[in-house]
Amino acid sequence: MLRTGPYWFPAKRYGWGWGLPTTWEGWVVFVAFIVLLVLAGVAFPPRTKRPAFLACVLVLGGLLLTVCWLKGEPPHWRWGG
């Protein structure tokens, strides 16, 4: 598995999933995700090209989820503390 060194994405304190990045690599991935989402919105305006835009959002979301899974803290339900 690719989980070596510090986690790029720490687990959320409450619930399941990951929070904001804590390393520069995580921030690069997160900012790239946001930039690519904006570019997808420009290239495929949601009002006129909704299926293409949704496909881009699903692919980008899947890629971000994969990176979080591989480089983030192991996910499980957390109740705080």
pLDDT, tens only, 12-58: 888 898 999 999 999 999 999 999 999 999 999 999 999 999 999 99
What is residue 3's predicted lDDT score, i.e. its pLDDT?
58
What is residue 13's predicted lDDT score, i.e. its pLDDT?
85
Copy the structure tokens of residue 73. Answer: 């803290």
What is residue 53's predicted lDDT score, i.e. its pLDDT?
96
Question: How far out from the chain centre does Cα 11 lie?
Answer: 13
